[in-house]
Amino acid sequence: MNRRMRAGQITVFFVAILPLMLGIAGLMLDGGKLLVESRRLQDVCDAAATAAAAELQMTGDLSSARLVAENVIGSLNSMTLAVSSIASPPTSGEYTGDSHFVEVQLEQSVTTHLIHLLNVSHSNTVSSRSVAGFEPSNIDAALVVLDPSPDPFSILGLPVLLPPLHSLLGGLEALGVGPVMVDGAVQVNTQWSGEDEFGESVGVDGPLLTHSISCTPLLGLSHLHAPEIRSVGGVDDLALYHQLDGGGKSPLQANRLPVPDPLRDLPVPTVAIDPTNVSNVYRGTKNIVIALPLLTPPIVLSPGVYDWINIVTGRVTFEPGIYVIRGQHPVTGHGLLISGLANVDARGVMFYLTDSASYSASSGMPDASDSSTNPPPSVLASQIPSAIITLGLLGTRISPLNSPGSPFDGMTIFQRRHDRRPIVLVQEDLLGGGYLEGRVYAKWGHTLIAGKGDIDAAFVSGTMRVVNLLGLRISPSAPFPPANDVYLVE
């Protein structure tokens, strides 16, 4: 065989096996491309499912969770893909039928270049599936702070027994001297920066010296004790946060997802919603000052609509039901004042506080139109409290509405969501053994709790201060549900 014939045979052989060689090369190159795209698609799917689960636990709205997932997919994926489904509850797998979980399925067409020489299609489809959801922690909540980035403000018209207070430096502040004890989880959505449980810096920088949670600024005289302390941002000093018994592992869990408003579905009080407890009878104003309160029979107030209630001295009984207070005293500026010199029996009541002078107990307007998610306009000036309630000196007793069929059952104070005014509660465990029980809700407002003794109440507020005057413990018998943690499970 001469050289020409041998060369020709080699050429023929090479031409014959060239498609196979290209196919093998395509298998390596295009197979790698398919693997990379599959992994990238899985990452997108995981991120979308996790974001959707976080939104679902915050809002309880599946359509909103689906929109969040679609936005994540669009922002992380530069190629065209098909969203097979975004479902809650999942339609397959271990979490089928569980409405706390979200299932995301994606498909993407990937064009190959060489592998078709092995009779494989030019266009191939890769798919992915992810499931994420939320599950509760083990500890019910006593204090819930909702405002992610509050405005600094100061409070005017405080009772004389309270010390002067600086401008707000934390979503939650524990002030005074000694430990503030909380029998329940503390949940704070404020994003301001500080330390996490490992001493690392977390959160978003806020105004000077601000943190998500702060104890007595700069001095370190106060401490916060609770079984669980969760914050979106960080704290001022890790050493100031302890378990209830003072020992064991730090209760702090910083840099966490925000918690939802546990009372986001609570309606404003109207006759139609609760005809048993709500009255649209207009009762005007009440200014009660009695010179000899112990010798005078109690004044009895009935549920209805009031401009303001000002109780300086005397014995007053509130009949069970809901009291709408829609104005403020022309001198003090408070809507509700119960002084330490009064003896008030308000068992089985709820106070609804609103800054809307035109509030209607028939229609619920204008408060019913307030957004449950978007905050009202900022108020940078000093604020006068909507309510000041002093307990304990002469035995004032306040307990929540007791009406199991009512959406307001267990509520003691409900402030209009878009009302930013502070609520001031002073507990002085001195003479009369007074108390306040139930739940207090001021979504974008500020709650100030001060004094000594025990308070059997749970609080949801935009921001909070707790001022310890020689021993204060918050021990709610009706706490809010525990926080949820979001997990990627499949």
The residue extents of the domains of the chain are 3-135, 141-488
Q: Kindly tell me if the per-residue pLDDT of 21 is higher than 90.
A: no
How many helices and strands, by DSSP H and E, does the chain display? 2, 27
At 168 the pLDDT is 85
The first and second tokens of residue 442, run together, are: 């001021």
At 249 the pLDDT is 86
Phi, psi (deg, nearest 5) at residue 249: -65, 145
| pTM attached to this predicted model | 0.85
- How large is the average pLDDT for residues 109-119? 57
**Number of Cβ atoms within 10 Å of the Cβ of 227:** 18
Query: In the Cβ-directed half-sphere of 16, how many Cα atoms lie within 13 Å?
Result: 6
The closest of 467, 463, 479, 461 to 213, measured between CA atoms, is: 463
The closest of 225, 148, 143 to 187, measured between CA atoms, is: 143
Percent of the chain with pLDDT over 70: 84
Phi, psi (deg, nearest 5) at residue 425: -120, 120
Q: Kindly tell me if the per-residue pLDDT of 112 is higher than 80.
A: no
In contact, 212 and 235? CB cutoff 8 Å: yes
Confidence of residue 205 (pLDDT cuts 50, 70, 90): very high
Confidence of residue 117 (pLDDT cuts 50, 70, 90): very low
**Could you read off the pLDDT of 384-407 as tens digits, one per residue?**
999 999 986 678 999 999 999 999
**Could you read off the pLDDT of 222-274 as tens digits, one per residue?**
899 999 999 999 999 999 999 988 778 899 999 999 999 999 999 999 999 99
In contact, 448 and 422? CB cutoff 8 Å: yes
At 216 the pLDDT is 75
User: Taken in order 388, 392, 394, 399, is the CA torsion positive or negative?
Assistant: positive
